[in-house]
Amino acid sequence: MPVQIPDDSDFSAFKDQCLNQDGWTSRYNKGGVTVWCREEESSTVQKLKMRIICKDVTAETLYDVLHDTSYRKKWDTNMIDTYDIARLTVNADVGYYSWRCPSPLKNRDFVTMRSWLPLGNDYLIINYSVKHPQHPPKKEFVRAVSLLTGYLIQSNGASSSTLYYLTQMDPRGSLPKWVVNRVSQFVAPKAMRKIYKASQKYSDWKRKHNPGLKPWIYPEQNTLPSISVSELTVQRADSLENIDESSVSEEKTQHSDDEET
């Protein structure tokens, strides 16, 4: 299946999903963070949406934090590795991300095509999984599939913003119900608060680390090798390994710090 770079209508449709509450069930609402879940026809697909109000962080800063992979390594403690692979256009690239799952569940990774768009007072970043010929699945990870994942950042004035995160993914495994519950009740809210805290510290950090380097805003700074979209294909979930972890009990797992309330 050919890869298509998102156009304005795709970004608008993603924004509508973030803002529309029809069909979504609230699972968490505390301390400025809300988490919703949505039932999907496929029992293997997890769909989550989150929102956090960032009272003292501008939309522009949030946008920079979510783009800056160097800074992400400072605050995303669930991340094992992330790197950019190649650029497609001035506002689209291909990248790799792997993250730590609670032991003894296997760790997951993604290869995704990411695209971004400033739209008036809004900023959007969306991605979905692709196959890149030089980055096949690794034996130490389960290659998960992002059907659609992204962020919507809305400005609430000079120094305030709202961040939405929406993900529709197939983790390629029959996960136990407690994992899904833990994600919505603990992992997701903590992750949103972590982005908020990281954004509060970003300006000071960036001042000391290549302050003028922002290739997501200034594409002429991008030094990634170029790749044609024809070299990529959409990553279909049914072509990947599917593992059964449904029998893993919560007592046997080791939770990371990010899963504490």
- The 10s digit of each residue's pLDDT in 102-131 is 777 889 999 999 999 998 899 999 999 999
Coil, strand, or helix at residue 132? Answer: coil
For the chain, the straight-line distance linking the first and the last C-alpha, in angstroms and rounded, comes to 41
232 within 8 A of 111, measured Cβ to Cβ: no
**In the chain, pLDDT over 90 holds for what percent of residues?**
70
Residue 257 pLDDT class (50, 70, 90 cuts): very low
CA distances from 218 to 63, 128, 136, 186 (A): 14, 23, 30, 36
Token pair belonging to 105:
């569940």
Let me know: does 93 contact 114? Beta carbons within 8 Å: yes
The two structure tokens encoding residue 88: 């497609």
Tens digits of per-residue pLDDT, 228-241?
999 999 998 777 76
Provide the b/e sequence for 149-160 (b: ≥16 CB within 10 Å). bbbbbbbeeeee
Residue 167: DSSP 8-state:
E
Residue pair 69/83 in contact by the 8 Å Cβ criterion: yes
Q: Parallel, antiparallel, or unpaired: how do β-strands 122-131 and 145-155 relate? A: antiparallel
CA distances from 205 to 13, 74, 139, 217, 247 (A): 34, 10, 35, 18, 43
Q: Tokens 């934090």, residue?
A: 65
Taking a C-beta distance cutoff of 8 angstroms, is the pair 199, 61 a contact? Answer: yes
Q: Is the separation of the CB atoms in 234 and 163 below 8 Å?
A: no
Distance CA 126, CA 120 (A): 17
More confident call, 236 vs 152: 152
Per-residue model confidence as pLDDT tens digits over 24-78: 999 999 999 999 998 776 666 778 999 999 999 999 999 999 999 999 999 998 8
pLDDT of residue 26: 93
User: Smallest Cα–Cα separation from 221: which of 63, 60, 81, 87?
Assistant: 87
Q: Which amino acid is at 161?
A: S
